[in-house]
Amino acid sequence: MTRRALVALGLPVVLVATWWVLSAGSTSFFWPPLSAIVAAFPTTWTADPIAHDVLPSLARLTAGYLVALVVGVAAGVAIGSDRVLRALCEPVLEFLRAIPPPVLVPVIALFAGYTGSTTKVVTIALGCLWPILLNTVEGVRSLDEVLRDTARSYRLGRLTTLRQVVLRGSSPRIAAGARQALSVGVILMVISELFGADRGLGAAVVRFQRGFAIPQMWTGIILLGLLGVALSGLFRLVEHRTLAWYRGLRQAEREV
């Protein structure tokens, strides 16, 4: 346990130390010493910016991500279960997936405006949707035929089959899609804030940069990085609990 923690923390510690040493005597305006950045942290991220920049960003990320999760899984199950629907949807999905989500920001802003939350939430949701949707389709499609037959022959109802067989059986793929979507979501959370002069984490970084508050700008970037790590840690925790069977199954298959 401690060994694993040491291994996991090893490289970050080395990198931070290297940054610290290399930047120690820096006089460059754009590359302040790490010590200066760290010193700026507590004064930059006080209660007010946390309440007005960090929390709204997180709220929008959560809302967009959850919408994508619900819509993606629901549509994915429907498309994955029906061969005809899949044949109809596949070309359209491939096209839509190829569109980089950031270009949607101006389009969505036409309807919802740049400053409000709606544009940002919709952008995040649309970006997160594709990895979740496509992975769910694949997960449902590749569900073992024998399991489906088993569910049918024991006359499991639609709801039980959906919950106990289809969703659980495709949960490893859904989780893989959800993990991809999480990093897409964080990126879109920042990008969607770069357009409008609103508040938010990404907006704060731009604000600091425009005000030449360079150490503060760096604290914002570091905070975003930490946020990403925290979210992926949270994700792993959930995944660890719900997909224990899948890890066991994979391991058992490898040992054969």
Partner 1 sequence: MSTTALDVRNLAKTYDGHGRDVEAVRDLTFRVDRGELVCVVGPSGAGKTTLLRCVAGLLDSSGGTVHLDGVPVTGPPAGMAVVFQEYGRSLFPWLTVRGNVGLPLKEKGLDRPTRAAKVDAALAAVGLCDSADAHPWQLSGGMQQRVAIARAVAYEPSVLLMDEPFASVDAQTRAELEDLVRDLWQDLGVTVLFVTHDIDEAVYLGQRVLVLSNRPTVVLEDVRVDLPTARDQLRTRSSPAFAAARNRVYELVQRAKQGHRPLPRATGARAMSTGTTAEG
One character per residue 226-245, x = contact with partner 1 (rule: CB under 8 A): -------------------x
Tell me which residue has tokens 């604290």.
219
139 binds partner 1 (CB under 8 A): no
How many angstroms separate the CA atoms of 84 and 64, rounded? 29
d(CA 86, CA 66): 24
For residue 46, the SS3 value is coil
Task: Based on the shown chain and the rule CB under 8 A, indicate whether residue 146 belongs to the binding site for partner 1.
Answer: yes
Helices in the chain by DSSP H: which ranges? Answer: 2-23, 34-44, 47-49, 55-81, 83-98, 104-112, 117-141, 145-153, 158-160, 168-195, 201-210, 214-242, 244-255
Instruction: Examine residue 206 and tell whether it contacts partner 1 (CB under 8 A).
Output: no
Indicate whether 67 belongs to the interface with partner 1 (CB under 8 A): no
Segment interacting with partner 1 (CB under 8 A) among 65-73, 130-138, 152-160, 212-220: 152-160
Residue of 17, 99, 152, 238 interacting with partner 1 (CB under 8 A):
152
Q: How far is the CB of 239 from partner 1 (least distance, A)?
A: 14
For residue 156, state whether it binds partner 1 (rule: CB under 8 A): yes
CB 204 within 8 A of CB 135: no
By CB under 8 A, name the binding residues for partner 1.
Answer: 144, 146-147, 149-150, 152-157, 160, 164-165, 168-169, 171, 245-246, 248-249, 252-253
